[in-house]
């Protein structure tokens, strides 16, 4: 699968998932939503088991980090479910999309990756967008 196909899969998967989170919170509370989110991870994980090269398997730090990633996503999903119970998904989604600044900054600080001037400009503009989206407009959240 090419880079653009993977990009499209990520955008469509995340985008549809975020929209469905809003729908879920119309029927169940955020704690229940997170608990029922987990079987989805498990189902997809079970479908991918045949892709693992078990004959070459040995535990590495990458496996521990992958478990931490899953934990981060579950915590983030709970935060999003909690927020989307009270806020319009059309406002909350672009605001939380500023998460992209975190890996850029961690990459610079911990991995020695250097953002370009254009990327720094993008970070600043993302925060400007966050302020504009969060600015009170008098529109009801739900």
Distance between CA atoms of 96 and 93, rounded to whole angstroms? 5
First-to-last C-alpha distance (Å) of the chain:
39
Q: What is the DSSP letter of 10?
A: H
Which residue carries 């040995």 as its tokens?
Answer: 58
| Domain boundaries, given as residue ranges, for the chain | 1-86, 88-142
The pLDDT assigned to 93 comes to: 83
| pLDDT digits 0-9 by tens, 53-84 | 888 888 999 999 999 999 999 999 999 999 99
Long-range residue pairs from 137-142, CB within 8 A, at least 24 positions apart, any chain = 139/88, 141/86, 141/87, 141/88, 141/91, 142/86, 142/87, 142/88
For the chain, percent of residues with pLDDT exceeding 90: 51
Residues 6+ apart with CB under 8 A from 78: 30, 31, 34
The proportion of the chain whose per-residue pLDDT surpasses 70, expressed as a percent, equals 95
Averaged pLDDT score across all residues of the chain: 88
Cβ proximity of 119 and 104 under 8 Å: yes
Higher pLDDT, 62 or 142: 62
Do 45 and 67 touch, CB atoms closer than 8 A? no
């Amino acid at each position: 699968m090419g880079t653009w196909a993977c990009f499209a899969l990520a955008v469509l998967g995340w985008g549809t998932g975020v929209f469905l989170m809003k729908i879920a919170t119309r029927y169940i509370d955020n704690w229940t939503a997170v608990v029922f989110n987990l079987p989805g991870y498990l189902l997809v994980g079970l479908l991918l088991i045949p892709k693992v090269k078990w004959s070459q398997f040995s535990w590495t730090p990458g496996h521990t980090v992958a478990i931490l990633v899953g934990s981060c996503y579950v915590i983030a999903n709970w935060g999003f479910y909690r927020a989307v119970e009270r806020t319009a998904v059309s406002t909350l989604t672009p605001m939380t999309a500023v998460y992209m600044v975190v890996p850029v900054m961690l990459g610079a600080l911990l991995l020695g990756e250097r953002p370009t001037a254009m990327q720094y400009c993008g970070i600043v503009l993302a925060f400007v967008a966050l302020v504009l989206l969060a600015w009170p407009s008098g529109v009801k959240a739900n």
